Amino acid sequence: MITLTDFQKATFEEKCDWVTASSNYMFARKLGDAKVYLYHGGDFFIEVYYSPTYKKILMINAFSSTSGLDPYLESISLRDLKV
């Protein structure tokens, strides 16, 4: 298992490989013309910013604070849970 610090220090290619092989996809959201894919990587979360227009990854952001999940909350509905 990799730590958040080690992930942040990794090269772009290493981050892409690690996301593909060792994390779990959770959710996607739109941000302007980009799509942001959220992954869970054990002790931290990873956002992959992708441009459909240019067909490439623009940036990879990793964080451990749950406040980083705030942009995803508006897209999640608890209505279907019938709580």
Tens digit of each residue's pLDDT (9 = 90 or more) over 25-36: 999 999 999 999
Whole-number Å distance between alpha carbons of 80 and 83: 8
Tens of pLDDT, residues 19-68: 999 999 999 999 999 999 999 998 999 999 999 999 999 999 999 998 99
Report angle CA 43, 65, 17 to the nearest 5 degrees. Answer: 45
Q: Locate the DSSP E strands across 1-83.
A: 24-31, 34-40, 45-51, 56-63
Is the model's pTM score more than 0.85? Answer: yes
Whole-number Å distance between alpha carbons of 30 and 50: 10
